[in-house]
Structure 1
Amino acid sequence: MKDQLLSKTIRYTNPILPGFYPDPSIVKAEDYFYLICSSFEYFPGVPIFRSRDLIHWEQIGNVLDRFSQLDLTGQKSSDGIYAPVIRYHEGIFYMITTDVRGIGNFYVTATNPAGPWSDPIRIPYGGIDPSLFFDDDGKVYVTAQQGADYDSHAIQYEINIATGEALTDPQIVWYGDGGPWTEGPHLYKINGLYYMMSASGGTAKEHREIIGRSENPYGPFERYPEPILTHRNLDHPIQYLGHADLVEDHQGDWWAVFLGVRLTDDGYSVLGRETFLAPVVWKDGWPHIDNNEGTVSLDMSVQRLEMTEASNLDRNEAIVVGREDFDAELGPHWLYVRNPTDGKCTVTERPGFLTLYGQEAGLNDTQQITFVGRRQQHLNASFTACISFAPAFEGEEAGLCIRRDEDAHYEIGIRRSAGQNIIFARLTERGESKIVHESKQETEQLLLRIESTEDEYNLTCSEDGQSWLRLGSGTARAISPEAFVHKMCFTGAVVGLYATGNGQESQTPARFDWFEYLV
């Protein structure tokens, strides 16, 4: 029947999820595909999207949206939630992941992927990146990364899916290809064979996806001698390809989602690791995506059978632009640094405004801070906020910020200093902060803007929206993950609204009338 159907040219743009959406995992359930990504120190955790055609996506929620599911208290940036995996079996969705520095490996379940999801069910073994596989005989396997660097390998064991209890001892099943950081392992069964697929080489220039196959779920796995996905030897605008997941579409064709980075000519990207899509071609029982061939590109043209279910979207709703007036609860694309503190961020205290109250901690700290933002999705963009804030106590501060982590962020705002209210701009690069502008605040309401280009961020403000005053600028490179200081950075830039008391609880509300993201 499939051979009788006519293929068509499918055109789409990569990445399908632009901005900080790394480590994608995907599953097909009835009429939809569902996709999730890592979230690290941000809350709520694990954004979840759905699509009918793999190209047009909409975010339907976040899997971990309660404190009982995810406690990020004290977690440093680039800790938290790593590499989630989504699976579907007999009417139930499963999301399995690692809470680094937290409760470790666990999974949650739901009958509706938009939630609510259950509280965590913990599992006993594995380092990071656990995955689930449901076999035809009813057995359920956990496959997880273990070890570090060149000692990284995959272990596997059976569990009771109702309780998380291990039914077997863990066995080493996969050593990868001899490179460092064998991680993100997935077990599949396709056409009667078991496939073990993982990333290798670390999330940088040497990143690649490798695969093996066996007649037994525990192997031994015959490894395909070359990567099935990498751009490590290619001069190409997309780099770091790997950490993939496979899915079969409605017509029996196979696809892969995976992370990649769009590096600038100078070798960095503030957007971080993004989610890409490519077709899978099977040859002699092996899946192939792109081994230094360049077939994974920004503009894709693919010959495939048309999906049974056409998309009901006329654009990719995962790309969010325009003005938000805070007339309702924040959408699922908004996120906090760690868990939000009750009463510190609300759209109900004054209807039509987002109201923030600063806490003791500020943007350089790893404690709970008042910060709500969204991922930057374009290199060239402007972010504008309308703030009303008249701080009455020394140290109170609020404004607009572009954030990578505690060591790298730029902000423009209003603060109380030496008995007067001032407009300021501050740059924090490699853990060192410096004020680049201070002037007396003349009006309570102010427009704050950060303009992003490939090379820099410009910080400006205006009282009337017509005349804009440039207060300073910082390099884009300093905000990129490539410019990390003490530990690797796994997140991209997030633009946000924030408030702090700089050592004490703030008493003065900072009210934001609207926020606008334009490209």
Structure 2
Amino acid sequence: MKKLVFCLLMLIGTLSAVSAQSGYTNPILKGFNPDPSICRVGNDYYMVTSSFEYFPGLPIYHSQDLVNWQQIGHCLTRDSQLPLHKVNASGGLFAPSLRYHDGLFYVICTNVSHGGNFYCTATDPAGPWGEPIYVGINSIDPDIFWDEDGRTYFVTQGDEAIRVTEFDIKTGTVLSEERKVWGGIGQRFPEAPHIYRKDGYYYLMIGEGGTEYAHSVTIARSRHIYGPYESCPLNPILTHCNRIGQGNPIQGVGHADLIQATDGSWWAVFLGFRVTQVYSYYHILGRETFLAPVDWPTNGWPQINGNGTVNLTMNVPTLPLKPFAPAPTRIEFDEDKLGFEWQYLRNPVRENYSLKEKKGHLMIKASPYTLDEAESVSFVSRRQTEHDFIAATTMTFQPKADTDEAGLTLIQNNTHHYDLRLIKKGNGHVIQLRVRAGSIDYIAFEQPISKSEVELKIEGAPLYYTFYYKEAGSNSYKKLGGMDTRYLSTEVAGGFTGVMIGMYASSGGKKTGTKAYFDWFEYKEGK
């Protein structure tokens, strides 16, 4: 009897393990996390994504199963590494690559607003990373490829074709002329190149069609690194710009990187975006990172997920899953520094922030700059990661002048944001919902309040944001009003980022020295 029970328990355990290794949910990195690049070292996988005008730059993630990821740091954490002074929205850092070679990690990227192409190195992907080494090649979307003969090549997009250039990895010095090797299959904006060596071929994979609804991934191969390259007969190997993908809630898939897992299987990571509803043409979360299995036979061509499409629910075998503990939904600001999920707009003025001035609070000192300006505003934010969410905070703020304001904001860029703010009006305080949508700028809703301590809340849904407030001592929230999400969408606002949820303080052009104190911040996914 004991033997039978033991066998049943073993069977249940085995079935549970098998079940735990079958299937996952896309995206694997939610919210504004575009242009993923991946590498493997032993049993560990590391990934980097683009960050544009946000600081610190280039988030670094870690996984042991390709499905579950945890942020471990940023590549660029010092002002000397990442100058973002007066950088316009969607400027700054474009399309990084992450590689590992001879004991060093490399992040290769372009600061389109300052310096151009560069790479940094580290022995630990969590950092610290070295100062950028700049490469004198005018392009974007760079990668580094180490050939078997010891030569190193810079692979980039430029002049409507992919270029390959030999260079010195120690100094960044260009050693040969730039040679155009492949222009893709004729779609616009051939970009995001990566070269892989397999079965005696150089496989060159790129993105085409632009990073919108016509985005796709194509691939070619050659016996020689400079070509000529033969186009894959299956191209594009990934796209939703076809009949199969037209009704998919994931759109704009492209800009991929490939990785071979510890069990020999191949996988692709790539960007895409989730529309607010099927057949809607608005997306607000930004471009996210997705995962799909790849079939890549010897001497053959890679096929992504069979038919070149991907789903939210992926019913495919995975590596043994190793999830991380879920992140807390509520931050009490009791630590000495903010978590990796928090981002500033451009290089922060560090004396405008403190977690020590008032214990258990985040202090934000009002900057003379406003959210409308491409400046180092007093603002700290995190990504909106689902259409359905609740974000809330308690804030104490005593405005000194009528130009002082502080509160919560939903921001796509400096010309498109919704601000749930407290201001001074006459001798009292007012809660307002200010709307900035391009040239449209107005106060949508307003309500006088009697106290300077207020709880602010935003509830998100696919098509609508609703804004609430609660005065200190009150037992319930009051609804202030709501706004359509589409005015913060990429299709309306433009650019390459996604909606960020931020706490901010501004003195509207004056130097009042007013401070806002945030007691806690909460973000919950779901309704």
- Check the 8 A contact 1:436/1:471 in 2, yes or no: no
Q: Identify unmatched segments of 5+ residues in structure 2.
A: 1-16
Letter in 1 for 2:162: A
The reply on whether 1:173 has 2:181 as its aligned counterpart is: yes
Q: Quote the offset at 1:359 in angstroms.
A: 1.1
Q: Quote the offset at 1:292 in angstroms.
A: 5.5
Q: Secondary structure at the match of 2:296?
A: strand
Instruction: Flag the 1:465–1:194 CA change in 2: closer, same or farther, 3 A.
Output: farther
Distance in 2 between residues matched to 1:122 and 1:314, nearest whole Å: 36
Aligned partner of 2:503 among 493, 497, 507: 497
Distance in 2 between residues matched to 1:271 and 1:292, nearest whole Å: 26
Task: State how 1:162-311 maps to structure 2 within 5 Å.
Answer: 162-225=170-233, 226-233=235-242, 234=245, 235-263=247-275, 264-265=277-278, 266-283=280-297, 285-290=300-305, 294=309, 296-303=310-317, 306=319, 311=322
Letter in 2 for 1:279: P
Q: Secondary structure at the match of 1:343?
A: helix
Q: Quote the offset at 1:473 in angstroms.
A: 1.3
- Check the 8 A contact 1:357/1:506 in 2, yes or no: no
Aligned partner of 2:112 among 92, 96, 100: 100
Listed one character per residue, the Cα deviations across residues 39-76 of structure 1 (whole Å, up to 9, x for unaligned) are: 01111110000000001111000111110100111111
The reply on whether 1:518 has 2:516 as its aligned counterpart is: no
The reply on whether 1:76 has 2:88 as its aligned counterpart is: yes
Instruction: Flag the 1:239–1:24 CA change in 2: closer, same or farther, 3 A.
Output: same
Task: State how 1:117-516 maps to structure 2 within 5 Å.
Answer: 117-147=129-159, 152-225=160-233, 226-233=235-242, 234=245, 235-263=247-275, 264-265=277-278, 266-283=280-297, 285-290=300-305, 294=309, 296-303=310-317, 306=319, 311=322, 313-314=323-324, 317=326, 320=327, 322-328=329-335, 329-463=337-471, 464=473, 466-484=475-493, 488-516=494-522
- Check the 8 A contact 2:136/2:174 in 1, yes or no: yes
Listed one character per residue, the Cα deviations across residues 287-320 of structure 1 (whole Å, up to 9, x for unaligned) are: 11157554x111112135x45xx62x355x5xx5
Listed one character per residue, the Cα deviations across residues 140-186 of structure 1 (whole Å, up to 9, x for unaligned) are: 11101113xxxx11111111111111111111111111111001011
Instruction: Flag the 1:126–1:196 CA change in 2: closer, same or farther, 3 A.
Output: farther
Letter in 1 for 2:138: G
Runs of 4+ aligned residues of structure 1 deviating over 4 Å after TM superposition are 6-9, 290-293
- Check the 8 A contact 2:222/2:229 in 1, yes or no: yes
Q: Quote the offset at 1:424 in angstroms.
A: 1.4
- Check the 8 A contact 1:414/1:441 in 2, yes or no: no
Distance in 2 between residues matched to 1:419 and 1:210, nearest whole Å: 63
Q: Quote the offset at 1:33 in angstroms.
A: 0.2
Q: Quote the offset at 1:509 in angstroms.
A: 1.1
Listed one character per residue, the Cα deviations across residues 439-495 of structure 1 (whole Å, up to 9, x for unaligned) are: 3331121000111011111111012463211112111011111112xxx41111100
- Check the 8 A contact 2:333/2:355 in 1, yes or no: yes
Letter in 1 for 2:334: D
Per the normalisation by structure 1, the TM-score is: 0.93
Distance in 2 between residues matched to 1:432 and 1:41, nearest whole Å: 23
Distance in 2 between residues matched to 1:69 and 1:431, nearest whole Å: 34
Distance in 2 between residues matched to 1:10 and 1:17, nearest whole Å: 19
Q: Quote the offset at 1:394 in angstroms.
A: 2.9
Distance in 1 between residues matched to 2:156 and 2:412, nearest whole Å: 28
Q: Identify unmatched segments of 5+ residues in structure 1.
A: 1-5
Corresponding residue for residue 34 of structure 1: 46
- Check the 8 A contact 2:420/2:432 in 1, yes or no: yes
Q: Quote the offset at 1:30 in angstroms.
A: 2.0
Q: Secondary structure at the match of 1:478?
A: helix
Per the normalisation by structure 2, the TM-score is: 0.92
- Check the 8 A contact 1:430/1:478 in 2, yes or no: no
Q: Quote the offset at 1:436 in angstroms.
A: 1.8
Corresponding residue for residue 24 of structure 2: 12
Instruction: Flag the 1:79–1:454 CA change in 2: closer, same or farther, 3 A.
Output: same
Distance in 2 between residues matched to 1:24 and 1:135, nearest whole Å: 22
Letter in 1 for 2:289: T
Corresponding residue for residue 10 of structure 2: none
Listed one character per residue, the Cα deviations across residues 252-275 of structure 1 (whole Å, up to 9, x for unaligned) are: 111000001111232212111110
- Check the 8 A contact 2:295/2:305 in 1, yes or no: no
Distance in 2 between residues matched to 1:490 and 1:420, nearest whole Å: 40
Distance in 2 between residues matched to 1:442 and 1:467, nearest whole Å: 15
- Check the 8 A contact 1:227/1:291 in 2, yes or no: no
Q: Secondary structure at the match of 2:491?
A: helix
Cα RMSD (Å): 1.7
Q: Aligned residues: percent identity?
A: 41
Letter in 2 for 1:133: F
Listed one character per residue, the Cα deviations across residues 374-399 of structure 1 (whole Å, up to 9, x for unaligned) are: 00001010110100111122311100
Corresponding residue for residue 46 of structure 1: 58
- Check the 8 A contact 2:254/2:272 in 1, yes or no: yes
Distance in 2 between residues matched to 1:93 and 1:293, nearest whole Å: 30
Distance in 1 between residues matched to 2:18 and 2:202, nearest whole Å: 29
